[in-house]
Chains A and B, each alone.
Chain A
Amino acid sequence: VPKQNDLLNYFQVS
C-alpha cells in the first residue's frame, strides 16, 4: 500500500 509522503520532504522552510 503506498504511503502518503509529506510536502516538507520536498520544499524547504524559507
Chain B
Amino acid sequence: MFEARLVQGSLLKKVQEALKDIVQEASWDCTSSGLSLQAMDGSHVSLVQLTLRADGFEKYRCDRNLAMGINMGSMSKILKCAGNDDVITLKAEDTSDRLELMFESPKGEKISNYEMKLMDLDCEQLGIPDQEYSCSIKMPSHEFARICRDLSQIGECVVITCTKDGVQFSAKGDMGSGTVKMSQNLGAEKEDDQVTIEMTEPVQLTFAIKYLNMFTKATSLSGSVCLSMSNDVPLVVEYKVEDMGHIKYFLAPKIED
C-alpha cells in the first residue's frame, strides 16, 4: 500500500506544471524515503529530477517500492481539478494499475475522488554523477525567468558567462543582440532577492533558450533558483520545493561543431 497526504496540495499542482512540458510520460518512484522521478525530454537534451521526501508529507506510507507509470498530460488534467487550498492524498495498492487521488477542501465540506490509469513504462534511468561545479549562482527565480523570456526574443541560444564579478547572459540574432548582467548583491533585505556567486574557475557555456524557458515553469515553487555550471558539462538549474525536496533540471550545452 502506498499513501501520501499533502496538506499544501498546491505544491503538487505546481510540481506537475513544472514537469509536464518536458516529459510526456514518467515513472514516479515511491519508496519508504519518498517520491522521486527522473525523466529526459524526447530529444535527450534535458533531464528533470524530482525529489519529495517522505517527511514533507503529513502522512506517508509505502510498504513496497512502487514505480507508477504516469501519463503527465492525464496527471495535469486531474490535478487541475484540485483547488489551490485543497489537501491532496495519493493512494495506490501494491499491485494496482490505478492511482487514486483525493482532494479535500480546507474545511472538509467538499471531497473529490479521481482514479487515474497507470501505464507500463520501461524507463531508462541515468546515473548522474555527484560533482563539484566551478560556479554556483543563486538568484531570484523571477529574475531568471525574466532574463530567459527577454533573451528568447533576441535569439535561440544564450551564452552564460560566470566570473567573480557576476553572471552575464547574452543572445544574438538577426535583429541584433542583448546582454543582461547580474552582479553579486548580498545586501538585499530578503534572502530570495540576493544574488550570490560562488566560483572556483570562470565558466562560459552556450544553451538553447527554449529549454531554459521550460525550466522556468517551476518559478512559482521557489523565490530563488540555483544555477550550477562547469565547463563542458550539463548545466543544473535547481528549484527547492519548500523544505521537502527539489526539482533539478539538467541541460546539455551546445558545442562548437
Interface of A toward B, CB cutoff 8 Å: 1-14
Contact = CB atoms under 8 A, between A and B. Distances in A.
A5 B46 CA distance: 10
B127 A2 contact: no
Interface stretch (B3-11, B143-151, B163-171, B249-257): B249-257
Contact of B254 (A4, A8, A11, A12): A4
A4 to B, nearest CB: 5
Interface of B: 40, 44-47, 124-129, 157, 206, 208, 233-234, 250, 252-257
Given A1-B257, A2-B254, A13-B125, A7 B40 contact: yes
B44 A12 contact: no
11 contacts: A2-B157, A2-B206, A2-B255, A4-B208, A7-B44, A7-B252, A8-B44, A11-B128, A13-B124, A13-B127, A14-B125
B233 A6 contact: no
A11 B157 CA distance: 23
Nearest to B257: A3
Nearest to A9: B252
